[in-house]
Amino acid sequence: MSGININQALQQFHQQMKANRNESEQVLQAAIMHLLQQQPVYGQLIAQLPRQHVTTPSEGLRDEERAFAPLFGLAWSQSTLILRVNDCHWQQAQNEGVLLALLVHEALHLLWQHPLRYLHESGQNVDIATDVAINQVMTTQIPGAWTLRWLNQRLQRQLPSNADSAVYLAALNKVSADSTNHDHTTSKTLSSSQGSITDKKISSQVRHTDGAGRQQDEYFNEPKRNELHLVDSHDGWASSSVNDELARANLRQRINQALARTTLTQRGKLPSSVQAKLASFVQQRAQLPWTAILSKLIGTVPHGKQDSRARFDRRQPQRMALPGQIARRRVTVTVFIDESASISTQTTVRFINELTGLTRAYEFVLTIFPFDAAIHDPITLSSSSQVADKLHARHVGGGTSFQSVFDYLKADRSQTPTSLIVILTDGEGETNIDAHGYHRVVWVLVGQQELSVQTPPGWVANINE
């Protein structure tokens, strides 16, 4: 991977309408490797993101506009963020330096939690506010990025530097409201013959003082300000299907993993605002306990129907003797418990007690599998202490293989990608796994140990001994 000449590959992509997915992924992996070496925190944040390649051409754009069409964008898949790569837009990555800067831009959106904070709000004002906030942090500026200077000129105000996106959004929304509701001087100044402040292609008039102290008008029309555009796609941020609490827990998990995999020295080389943002996450875990995460997941799983006399039959409502149907709450949860010696009997008992506590709220079909390098025979849930005794009695000291769990799930035809999976582990195992499409996974780690898997499917929580 390190042998790829990124600049040469980008030149080839620029000559194509659409980049080959495999070649695109190779260049992207090489860029992430460089980022891990040069700016490890950003590299870790990006490396953890699952990637999705799409081929959506930009319709109706001129050649000069197509060069700025967004290559990357964060998007929600279930309640997990992914990095979406548009293989029709590699022209935006003019060279290796710009490509790395585009990845840093996404890492900062992630660190500032913009996709989560603006989960239920979208529009160009949000686009501008969030990009202006993080573009001030970047040490390498992306051609075409919105800047605070430009925003101040557009709004004819002096907004504070390094402020939160909410500050810039409030200013933009106020001007938009004034422009819509009042026909006064400010509205006329901020508008042009092409549209309002929320139009991406409008011209703006800015009054400034020249060297002789005279007031002059400077017009920023489109040919002079090709740089003023959205750097990345924010289309995947807003979603009504995302569970806010699960999304928050998942995002915090990824940031905490990036912290755990970098040193204080590496983080100390970052801008002070980034260091402050990272410091707010130090020693923080997902705010939801693992039982709450599992409960949220249970609530989103379809479990079929069951007869109920409290409902009429929809097809034959006149036959009142026929029962109707209601949603069934019977849930199948498969639990895998690591047999590592680092997991104490006390922790196992507590873990199983919490599982049995959930059965009071849900009709569980619960199966427990001990595992190390392989999956062993299931253990019947009779009592917490008996299960713990069985687990530790059969411990053979083998290594831990998370891949064996997902291989077993794939081989078991009763398990589907929507099955609920819980893995109790000390976190030590492989760095890369093939999850075979299983994504409803709750990893429950013992103590403060970090999970070794670089991009784990599902959610990671901790159970302290």
Can you give the pTM of this predicted structure? 0.67
H helices of 299-426, where?
345-358, 384-393, 402-411
Residue 177: predicted pLDDT: 81
349 and 438 Cβ atoms separated by less than 8 Å: no
Residue 294 makes CB contacts below 8 A (sequence gap 6+) with 333, 358, 420, 422, 442
Interatomic CA distance for residues 117 and 133, integer angstroms: 14
Q: What are the DSSP E strand ranges found in 221-349?
A: 305-312, 323-327, 330-338
Residue 311: predicted pLDDT: 54
246 and 297 Cβ atoms separated by less than 8 Å: yes
355 and 347 Cβ atoms separated by less than 8 Å: no
3-state secondary structure of 374: coil
Interatomic CA distance for residues 34 and 140, integer angstroms: 15
| Three-class HEC string of 244-268 | HHHHHHHHHHHHHHHHHCCCHHHHH
DSSP state of 159: P
DSSP state of 141: P
Name the fold adopted by 290-463.
Answer: Rossmann fold (3.40.50)
Which residues are paired to 21 by β-bridges? none
Residue 458: predicted pLDDT: 86
Cα Rg for the chain, rounded, in angstroms?
A: 27
Q: Which of 246, 259, 255, 287 is nearest to 459 (CA)?
A: 246
CA distances from 80 to 50, 243, 436 (A): 9, 10, 17
| Annotated domain spans of the chain | 6-200+227-243, 290-463
Residue 225: predicted pLDDT: 40
460: enclosing H helix or E strand:
strand 459-463
444: enclosing H helix or E strand:
strand 441-446
In terms of DSSP bridges, do strands 215-220 and 72-77 run parallel, antiparallel, or are they unpaired? unpaired
Report CA dihedral (91, 95, 99, 105) to the nearest 10 degrees: -90
DSSP state of 274: H
103: enclosing H helix or E strand:
helix 96-111
Q: CB 369: neighbour CB atoms within 10 A? A: 17
421 and 442 Cβ atoms separated by less than 8 Å: yes
Residue with token string 């506010």? 129
Q: What angle do CA 180, 181, 183 make, to 5 degrees?
A: 90
Residue with token string 């409030």? 170
The sheet with strand 80-86 has its strands ordered as 51-54, 80-86, 72-77
DSSP state of 403: H
Residue with token string 């695109």? 24
Residue 464: predicted pLDDT: 64
Largest Cα–Cα distance of the chain, in whole Å? 92
| pLDDT (tens place) for every residue of the chain, 465 residues total | 457 899 999 999 999 889 999 999 999 999 999 999 999 999 999 998 999 999 988 766 666 666 788 999 999 988 889 999 999 999 999 999 999 999 999 999 999 999 999 999 989 999 999 999 999 999 998 988 999 999 999 999 999 999 999 999 999 998 888 777 655 444 444 443 333 344 433 333 333 333 333 333 333 333 344 456 889 999 999 988 888 888 888 888 888 888 888 888 888 889 989 988 888 776 454 456 787 788 878 765 544 454 554 555 556 656 656 555 544 555 778 999 888 777 777 777 777 777 777 766 666 677 888 888 889 888 766 555 566 666 656 555 567 899 999 999 999 877 887 788 999 888 888 988 999 989 889 998 886 677 888 788 888 887 765
